[in-house]
Amino acid sequence: MSTDKNMNQQPTSSELAILQILWQRGPSTVRKVHDLLAQEKDIRYTTTLKTMQVMHARGFVQREIEGQNHIYEAAVAQEATQTALLDTFLQRAFGGSALRLVMKALGNYEASPEELEQLKKVIAQKENKNQKDHD
């Protein structure tokens, strides 16, 4: 699986929903992916099939043919895809400011005590790294 393949092009929201399934479940048939998508929204099988065919052409998924079944697997890494999407979003929506993004998220969504502890640890790690970089 590539870590930077196709990061100059990003998946659409429909493609990202399919990638999420493939990242979580691993190689899957179109039928399995469709059944999982259909639990969330009204979507036709042919739409799922066409989207996955386009994703294959764009290099987001790999396809193996086993008899009548086409088995699809993510061809892009989850981490690299999330990073590219976040970078784009951060630039477009928050002018590149991580602070504005985090402040908006914390202001709009309830963070659990565990999540807040994790945030404190990340901040402490960043502060330690910055301190070492300036020494």
Q: What single string gives the DSSP state of each residue in 61-89?
A: EEEEEETTEEEEEE-B-HHHHHHHHHHHH
- What residue ranges do the domains of the chain occupy? 1-95, 97-135
Q: Is the pLDDT score of 10 beyond 60?
A: yes
Residues 75/62, Cβ–Cβ less than 8 Å: yes
Structure tokens at 52: 């996955």
- Provide the pLDDT for residue 1: 52
Question: What does pLDDT average to over the chain?
Answer: 91
DSSP 26: -
CATH number belonging to domain 1-95: 1.10.10.10
Q: Is the pLDDT score of 36 beyond 90?
A: yes
How far, in Å, CA of 16 to CA of 119, rounded? 26
